[in-house]
C-alpha cells in the first residue's frame, strides 16, 4: 500500500537553497514537505569553501553578482551571527604576477564599496616586512600584500538551522529519501513519489513542486518532461586537520585561476579547481593531478605547504548556468528561477545557479514565484528573522567565561 499525503508545496533538495525555500514558505503559512536523497547539505553545499563571501573576482565580468552576493551575505550574517566568523585573507603580490601591487590595491578599493553590505572591514595594504611579520610562511620575495575580509560558516550547520526553523513553522522534512517520480496530470505536476530509507514508497500531492537539487536539476526536470540547461563544474578541496597559517591566503594557479587556502580555526581548506564535469554526480572522484595542481599553485606563495599532510579531500559540482565558450572559472554565478508552466509542466518550478552566499535571496525569489502561482500575498521575512540559536544577543565573552570558569578565548570560540 502506498501512503499518501497532501500539502501546498513539495521542495526537492535539502541543500542550503532547498532548506531556505522550505523555511521561507513555511514562515509564510504554507504547508511544506522537504525531501533530500542524502544527508542535509551533503551535495554542493557541503563541498563549498565554507564561506559567505562576496566574490571580488566576479568584479571583472559580473558586478551584479558581487553586489547581490554581498547584500545577501549581510542578511545571512545578521540572522545567523552565531554561526559565522570573520576570515581575514592576505593576498600576496610576487614578481611577475598578472596584477602588480597598485592594480591589486585598486581592485580592493573597488571591493571596499561592497564590504559594508556584508558588515566586513575594508582592505589594508601591507609592505613586504609587514606581510611577513603577519604571516612568516609567505614567500620571501613578495613585493607586498593586501588584506581582504570575508565570513566563514559551517554549511552543514547553516542548512540544518534552516531545516529546524522550517520544522518549527510546521514543515515536514525527510532526508535519505529519494524522489523516484513526479506525478503528472494532463500537463500539470501534482506531486511526487518517493522512497524512504526502509524501501517503502510514498506519494505526496502538492499544488507546486520545487526543484532545488543543484547540479541534479536536469535529472529531476526530465521527470516532468522539461529541460534545465546547466554547465556543471567540478571543484575539489584538500583538507588539512589543523590551521597551517596565521591568515587565509589567496594565490594564483599555473593557468591564472584564483586559489584559496582558507584557515577555518581547527582546520584548513585548500581549493578549488574549476573544471567542466560530465560524469556521475553521485560519484565524483578526486584525481592525483588535481591535488598536484592545487599544491603547485599555493606553493609559489606559501612554500612550506609540502611540509603539511592533507588528511582527505572533498569534491562537489557547481550548478552553474549554461554558457558556451567561457572558461569554467569565468562562468557567472547568477541564478534563475524557472516556472515550467509554459513548457507544459505547470505546478513545477526550478531554481538553478547561484552560490552559497546568496542562498537566502535565491530562496526568497523562488518562494515569491511559488506564492504568485498559489495566489498568496505574503512577504518574505527571512532577511530579518533570526535562525535558531541567534534569537538574542550573546552574553559578553568575559562574563560567560567568568560564570562558567573557562578562559575568555574558549568562551568566544563557543559563541562562534
Give the C-alpha separation, 45 to 54, whole Å: 16
> What is the model's pLDDT at position 395?
74
Q: Please provide the size of the chain in residues.
A: 416
pLDDT of residue 413: 63
How far, in Å, CA of 271 to CA of 286, rounded? 12
Cα(13)–Cα(212) distance, rounded to whole angstroms?
5
For position 305, what pLDDT does the model report?
Answer: 97
Backbone angles phi, psi at 251, to 5 degrees: -140, 175
Do 17 and 216 contact (CB within 8 A), yes or no? no
The conformation of residue 358, written as its DSSP 8-state character, comes to G
- Residue-by-residue pLDDT tens, the chain, 416 positions: 576 789 999 999 999 999 999 999 999 999 999 999 999 999 999 999 999 988 777 777 777 888 999 999 999 999 999 999 999 999 999 998 888 999 999 999 999 999 999 999 999 999 999 999 999 999 999 999 999 999 999 999 999 999 999 999 999 999 999 999 999 998 999 999 999 999 999 999 999 999 999 999 999 999 999 999 999 999 999 999 999 999 999 999 999 899 999 999 899 999 999 999 999 999 999 999 999 999 999 999 999 999 999 999 999 999 999 988 676 666 677 899 999 999 999 999 999 999 999 999 999 999 999 999 999 999 999 999 999 998 776 677 788 788 888 887 777 666 65
Kindly compute the dihedral angle of the four CA atoms of residues 304, 308, 314, 318, in this order, to the nearest 10 degrees.
-10
Residue 75 lies in a domain: no
Q: Is 96 left (phi over 0), alpha (psi -120 to 50) or beta?
A: left
Q: Is residue 381 part of a domain?
A: no
Is residue 320 located within the same domain as residue 358?
Answer: no
Please indicate, yes or no, if residue 34 is contained in any of the structural domains.
yes
Q: Give Cα separations from 82 to 34, 95, 248 (angstroms).
A: 25, 41, 21
User: What residues contact 256, with CB distance under 8 A and at least 6 apart?
Assistant: 98
Given CA atoms 145, 78, 266, 283 in this order, what sign does their dihedral have? negative
| DSSP character at residue 230 | B
Contact 216, 201 (CB under 8 A): no
Radius of gyration of the chain from its Cα atoms, rounded to whole angstroms: 22
Residues 241, 242, 245: CA angle, nearest 5 degrees: 135
* Domain-located, residue 73: no
User: Per DSSP, what are the bridge partners of residue 182?
Assistant: 192
Q: 224 and 313, same structural domain? A: no
Alpha carbon distance 337, 349 (integer Å) = 7
In the three-class reduction of DSSP (H, G, I as helix; E, B as strand; rest coil), residue 232 is classed as coil
Residues 315, 182 share a domain = no
Cβ-Cβ contacts under 8 Å for 62 (sequence gap 6 or more): 332, 333, 334
134 & 249 share domain: yes
The answer on 298 and 282 residing in a single domain is: yes
Kind and range of the H or E run holding 134: helix 128-134
Closest CA relative to residue 195, chosen from 12, 317, 6, 346: 12
* The last residue of a domain, from among 374, 389, 407: 374
Same domain, 259 and 310: yes
Tell me phi and psi for residue 320, to 5 degrees.
-70, 145
**Same domain for 223 and 264?**
no
- Render 86-128 in DSSP notation, one character per residue: EEEEEEEE-TT-SS-HHHHHHHHHHHHTTGGGGT-PPP-EE-H
Separation CA 7–CA 399 (nearest Å): 47
Our count of domains for the chain comes to: 2
Q: What angle do CA 160, 70, 94 make, to 5 degrees?
A: 110
The domain that holds 360 is classified in CATH as: 3.50.50.60
Residue 406 lies in a domain: no
What is the CA angle 406-411-412, rounded to 5? 150
Q: Determine, yes or no, domain membership for 398.
A: no
Whether residue 188 is found in the same domain as residue 39 = yes
Q: Is 64 inside any structural domain?
A: no
pLDDT of residue 1: 57
Copy the grid coordinates of residue 152. 566563514
Which of these, 68, 41, 52, 157, lies nearest to 361 by C-alpha position?
Answer: 68
Considering the domain architecture, whether residues 170 and 313 belong to the same structural domain is answered as: no
So what's the pLDDT on residue 412? 67
393 found inside a domain:
no
- The position carrying cell 553545499 is 45
Nearest CA-CA partner of 230 in 244, 238, 219:
219
At residue 393, φ and ψ (nearest 5 deg) are -65, 140
**pTM for the whole structure:** 0.93
Supply the DSSP symbol for 355.
Answer: -
CA 272, CA 144: separation in Å to the nearest integer?
Answer: 24
146 and 238 fall within a common domain: yes
CATH number at residue 95: 3.30.9.10
Would you give the DSSP letter of residue 321? B
Q: Which of 374, 392, 407 is the last residue of a domain?
A: 374
245/314 same-domain check: yes
> Which residue range(s) make up the domain with 105?
88-151+232-325
Q: What 3-state class would DSSP assign to 145?
A: strand
Same domain for 178 and 214, yes or no, is yes
Amino acid at each position: 500500500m502506498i501512503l499518501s499525503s497532501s500539502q501546498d508545496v513539495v521542495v526537492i533538495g535539502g541543500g542550503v537553497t532547498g532548506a531556505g525555500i522550505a523555511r521561507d514558505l513555511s514562515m509564510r503559512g504554507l504547508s511544506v514537505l522537504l525531501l533530500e536523497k542524502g544527508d542535509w547539505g551533503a551535495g554542493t553545499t557541503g563541498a563549498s569553501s565554507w564561506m559567505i563571501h562576496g566574490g571580488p573576482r566576479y568584479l571583472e565580468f559580473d558586478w551584479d553578482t558581487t553586489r547581490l552576493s554581498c547584500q545577501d551575505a549581510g542578511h545571512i550574517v545578521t540572522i545567523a551571527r552565531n554561526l559565522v566568523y570573520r576570515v581575514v585573507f592576505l593576498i600576496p603580490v610576487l614578481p611577475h604576477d598578472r596584477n602588480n601591487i597598485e592594480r591589486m590595491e585598486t581592485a580592493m578599493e573597488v571591493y571596499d564599496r561592497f564590504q559594508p553590505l556584508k558588515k566586513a572591514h575594508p582592505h589594508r595594504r601591507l609592505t613586504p616586512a609587514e606581510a611577513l611579520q603577519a604571516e612568516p610562511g609567505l614567500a620571501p620575495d613578495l613585493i607586498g600584500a593586501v588584506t581582504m575580509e570575508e565570513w566563514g560558516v559551517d554549511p552543514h550547520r547553516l542548512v540544518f538551522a534552516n531545516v529546524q526553523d522550517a520544522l518549527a513553522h510546521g514543515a515536514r522534512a525527510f532526508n535519505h529519501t529519494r524522489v523516484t517520480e513526479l506525478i503528472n496530470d494532463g500537463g500539470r505536476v501534482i506531486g511526487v513519489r518517493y522512497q524512504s530509507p526502509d524501501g517503502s514508497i510514498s506519494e505526496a500531492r502538492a499544488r507546486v513542486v520545487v526543484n532545488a537539487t543543484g547540479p541534479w536539476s536536469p535529472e529531476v526536470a526530465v521527470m516532468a518532461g522539461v529541460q534545465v540547461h546547466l554547465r556543471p563544474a567540478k571543484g575539489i578541496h584538500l583538507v588539512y586537520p589543523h590551521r597551517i597559517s596565521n591568515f587565509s591566503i589567496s594565490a594564483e594557479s599555473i593557468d591564472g585561476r584564483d586559489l584559496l587556502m582558507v584557515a577555518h580555526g581547527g582546520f584548513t581548506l585548500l581549493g578549488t579547481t574549476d573544471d567542466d564535469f560530465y560524469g556521475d554526480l553521485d560519484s565524483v572522484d578526486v584525481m592525483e593531478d588535481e591535488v598536484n595542481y592545487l599544491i603547485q599553485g599555493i606553493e609559489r606563495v606559501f612554500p612550506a605547504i609540502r611540509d603539511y599532510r592533507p588528511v582527505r579531500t572533498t569534491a562537489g559540482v557547481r550548478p552553474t548556468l549554461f554558457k558556451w565558450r567561457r572558461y569554467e572559472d569565468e562562468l557567472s554565478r547568477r541564478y534563475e528561477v524557472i516556472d515550467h508552466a509554459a513548457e507544459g509542466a505547470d505546478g513545477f518550478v526550478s531554481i538553478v545557479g547561484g552560490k552559497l552566499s546568496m542562498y537566502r535571496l535565491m530562496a526568497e525569489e523562488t518562494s515569491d514565484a511559488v506564492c504568485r502561482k498559489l495566489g498568496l500575498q505574503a512577504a518574505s521575512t527571512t532577511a530579518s528573522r533570526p535562525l535558531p540559536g541567534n534569537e538574542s544577543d550573546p552574553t559578553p565573552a568575559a562574563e560567560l567565561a567568568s560564570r562558567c570558569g573557562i578562559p575568555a578565548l574558549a568562551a568566544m570560540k563557543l559563541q562562534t
